[in-house]
A and B are shown apart, each in its own frame.
Chain A
Amino acid sequence: MLLFSEKTDLLYELLSLARSLADKNGWTVEALTIAQSSAESNEIIARGADTVLNLQSASSVGSLQPQQVAAVLEHITQSDHIVMVLLAATKEGNEIATRLAQKLGIGCATGCLEVQVQDKTVLAWRPYYGGKFVGKVSTKLLPAVITIQPRKFNPSLPSPDRAGKRVTLEFKLPPPHLEIIRVERKAKSAMELEKAEIIVSAGRGFKKKEDLELVEELAETLGGTVAGTRPLTEDMNWLPTDSQVGLSGKKVKPRLYIACGVSGQIQHIIGMRDSKVVVSINIDPNASIFDESDYYIVGDLYKVLPALTKVLKEIITK
């Protein structure tokens, strides 16, 4: 098997899936890294890789373009007789995987939730119809090219006595297609959403940006983090992009998720479905978010949220 992710924490998640598949099927696990130190490679070996292929490159991992990474993966896939390639289902990860599959003339399963191997066939599960359904798909070990949704697997834990090989890979990268003019790191939310224990999220039920204060106040009282649906983060720009929960945003699993004025479009549900307890507040008695909630209140969030914040403040001061 061959693994790659431009993000180390996601590579560790891929390693935990890869290790269990490899052990069951008698495969070995190779991980591609770009211009990495030997200490970093050793960590990847300790977490489950049999071989770390470190590409010698003047560019760091973040500055290589998907089309260049796909070329390296194609080279390794062919020279090492790889049966399965796993990447993380980030925007770039999906592009790299799809390009690799196209180079090899085969299908590709993007955004998968689970992978199994049965009799030389790969079964994978991925969302359909906006996440309202889950489809079982099959692909062949030609190799199988698959991307895995972030945070579906726990990162593999290091065992320092694991043995593995560090190999230096020399490969002439194709010239980049795009000219990158400027890269700006996004302002990180005060706390990473994926790690938040309590999330208060806002949807289209809010009439204007200033009203999000109600959500912020509730989140602050609870020690939680604010999130939003795609219309709020992308179309209206009322909240930063990295606070988007949903199909094209973050997949979260907090212990408490409070959806305020969220209609419950399936694209949003897919991002919060793994939450432990879900609460929703919506004025529309038929809002579909209620089907995905443990507790719900049919009511005006402009009245319910201040009341909720007030009650919570009372218990905290007690």
Chain B
Amino acid sequence: MVCVKITFDITLIDVDEQSRAPLLKDVPFKISDFDLNAVEEAVRLKERHGGKVTSVSVGPVERKDPIKRALAMGVDEAYFITVNETLNPDSSQLAQILHAFLRTLGSYDVIICGEGSVDEYNSQIGPRLSELLAIPLIAHASKIEISDRTVSAQRSLEEVKQSLRSTLPVVLTVGSEINEPRFPTLLQIMSASKKPTSVISTEELGVRLEEPTFSILEVLSPDSRRRRIKIEGDPKAAARKLVANLVQEGVLS
């Protein structure tokens, strides 16, 4: 199973110059970057070992469309769990919803998530699912191999590189270094629309959401203090002017 968050294309978010708030109104939705790596890895595992890839997403129903890209990449079946738009579930509640969904799904061997979402980067779904399901987590995996129901993985932490092994089932989180997500062909895109996408509500899953213990109060763009001085001229002249400025600033030792 692969967890796919659909969120704003953050590269297209502008700032309201008055309030410094993000202008989100017409920003298109897409699959969060690292979740595309998660989809790619899940599809590669299927191509090598067989099985089936199911994707699950949680969010307001109007964000459903971009999931077609995951289906075109090779996901067999997609589930979209809708939440009321007035609710902004925190990571704890998202994990609770995903956990409830997994109970209805039945058996699974590998759960892959992006190591963080491009919008909020809480990086919590992987560890929380590991706790809820009481199964191992290999976070930040950069290479994955499976044989004899054992996962061998590599990962890179701040100061060390590790090679490790885990039994199945397992939760994995991945970032951009693990693979290059494929671009589906036109044929794949067309056939994706025939693949099953089920929409379920949190109520149908039997999840009752209470007031979250973590909430976002406001999001604002910090003022950039930069001076944005353009240095003109051909490379040689520009280099001279720049160095003169840096000398004056006292930043060259």
Out of A184, A248, A293, A310, which one reaches B226, CB within 8 Å?
A293
Q: Tell whether, in the assembled complex, residue A90 and residue B157 are in contact, meaning their CB atoms are under 8 Å apart.
A: yes
Taking a contact as CB atoms closer than 8 A, the residue among B212, B213, B231 that contacts A297 in the complex is B231
Q: How large is the interface on A (under 10, 10 to 19, 20 to 34, 35 or more residues)?
A: 35 or more
Q: Which stretch, A14-22, A44-52, A131-139, A158-166, touches the partner chain B?
A: A131-139
Give the nearest-CB partner of A295 in chain B: B229
Would you call B252 an interface residue if the criterion is a C-beta within 8 Å of the partner chain's C-beta atoms?
A: yes
Say whether A140 faces chain B, with CB atoms less than 8 Å apart.
yes
Partner of B118, one of A103, A130, A183: A130
Give chain A residues whose Cβ lies under 8 Å from the Cβ of B25: none
C-alpha gap A128/B22 in the complex (Å): 10
Interface centre among B15, B127, B152, B238 (most CB of A within 10 A): B127
Task: For the complex, give the distance between the alpha carbons of A185 and B165 in Å.
Answer: 18
**Are A107 and B176 within 8 A (Cβ)?**
no
What does the 1/0 interface line of B13-48 toward A look like (CB < 8 Å)? 101000000100000000000000000000000000
Q: Which one of A29-37, A53-61, A76-84, A274-282 contacts B?
A: A274-282
> Chain B residues with Cβ under 8 A from A311's Cβ?
236, 239-240, 243
User: Binding site of A, secondary structure by majority: helix, strand, loop or mixed?
Assistant: mixed
Q: Is the CB of B164 within 8 A of A135?
A: no
Check B123 against A294 for contact (C-beta < 8 Å).
no
Interface string of A284-311 (1 = CB under 8 A from B): 0000001111111111100110111011
Interface string of B229-250 (1 = CB under 8 A from A): 1110001101110110111010
- Within the complex, the shortest CB–CB distance from B209 to chain A, in Å, comes to 13
Cβ contacts under 8 Å, B100 to chain A = none
**B204 lies within 8 A of chain A by Cβ:** no
Task: Tell me if A255 is interfacial: C-beta within 8 Å of chain B.
Answer: yes
Residues of A within 8 A of B (CB): 62, 66-67, 70, 90-92, 94-95, 98-99, 101-103, 105-111, 123, 127-130, 132-140, 142, 177-186, 197-198, 222-223, 230-231, 234-235, 241-242, 247-248, 255-256, 265-266, 276-279, 290-300, 303-304, 306-308, 310-312, 315
